[in-house]
Structure 1
Amino acid sequence: MKTIKTLITASVISLSFASVSFAGTDNSQLEQAINGEHRSAANKARDQYRHPMETLNFFGFNANMTVVEIAPGGGWYTEILAPALKGKGKLYGAHYPDTGEDNYYSNSRRNLEKKLASNAVFSEVELTNFIPKKASKLAPAESADLVLTFRNLHNWGEEGMAQVFKDAYKALKKGGVLGVVEHRMPENQSWKDNKRSGYVPQALAVKYAEEAGFKLAASSEINANPKDNANHPKGVWTLPPSLRLGEQDKEKYLAIGESDRMTLKFIK
Structure 2
Amino acid sequence: MKTQLLVAACAALALSAGAVEAKPGKHITAAVADAARPEADTRRDADRKPAEMLEFAGVKKGMKVADFIPGGGYFTRIFAKAVGPTGKVYAVTNPPPANAPNPPPIQAIAADPAYGNVQVVATGIASFALPEPVDVFWTSQNYHDLYLTRFNLDVPQADKAIFNAVKPGGTLVVLDHAAAPGAPVAETANTLHRIDPAAVRRNLEAAGFKYVGESKALANPADDHTKGVFDPALRGHTDQFILKFRKPK
TM-score, structure 2 as length reference: 0.82
In structure 2, what residue type is equivalent to 1:267?
Answer: R
Shift of 1:204: 0.6
- Conserved 8 A contact 2:66-2:138: yes
Measure the CA separation in 2 of the matches of 1:9 and 1:162. Answer: 33
Measure the CA separation in 2 of the matches of 1:165 and 1:190. Answer: 19
Point out where structure 2 has 5 or more consecutive residues left out of the alignment: 1-8
Percent sequence identity is 28
The yes-or-no answer on 1:137 pairing with 2:129 is: yes
Equivalent residues in 2 for 1:1-268, closer than 5 Å: 11-15=12-16, 27-102=25-100, 110-117=104-111, 119-133=112-126, 135-140=127-132, 143-157=133-147, 159-187=153-181, 189-191=183-185, 193-196=187-190, 197-232=192-227, 235-238=228-231, 243=232, 253=233, 257-268=236-247
In the superposition, relative to structure 1, how do residues 192 and 164 fare at CA in structure 2: closer, same or farther (>3 Å)? closer
Measure the CA separation in 2 of the matches of 1:9 and 1:163. Answer: 35
- Conserved 8 A contact 2:134-2:170: yes
Measure the CA separation in 1 of the matches of 2:204 and 2:123. Answer: 18
Shift of 1:205: 0.3
> Structure 1 stretches (4+) deviating beyond 6 angstroms?
none
Measure the CA separation in 2 of the matches of 1:157 and 1:172. Answer: 22
In structure 2, what residue type is equivalent to 1:114?
Answer: A
In the superposition, relative to structure 1, how do residues 66 and 207 fare at CA in structure 2: closer, same or farther (>3 Å)? same
Measure the CA separation in 1 of the matches of 2:189 and 2:10. Answer: 27
Point out where structure 1 has 5 or more consecutive residues left out of the alignment: 1-7, 244-252
Q: Any idea what SS the aligned residue of 1:185 has? A: coil
Q: Any idea what SS the aligned residue of 1:72 has? A: coil
Alignment RMSD (CA, Å)? 2.8
Count of residues paired in the alignment: 234
Measure the CA separation in 1 of the matches of 2:52 and 2:140. Answer: 14
